[in-house]
Amino acid sequence: MNLISSHRLVKSEDLNHHGTLFAGRGAEWFVESGFIAASKYLNPKFVICLKIHGMHFSKPVRPGEVIQLKSAVVYAGRTSLTAHVDVYNAKDESIVDGFITFVHVDENTRSKPHGITIIPETETDRQLWEEARRLLENK
Domains assigned to the chain:
4-137 (3.10.129.10)
pTM: 0.94
**pLDDT attached to residue 139:** 64
Average pLDDT over residues 95-101: 96
Q: What is the chain's mean pLDDT, rounded?
A: 96
In angstroms, the CA 20 to CA 12 distance is 9
Residue 13: closest CA among 2, 29, 25, 27: 25
Average pLDDT over residues 61-89: 97
**pLDDT attached to residue 25:** 97
Confidence of residue 109 (pLDDT cuts 50, 70, 90): very high
Residues 6+ apart with CB under 8 A from 88: 67, 68, 70, 94, 95
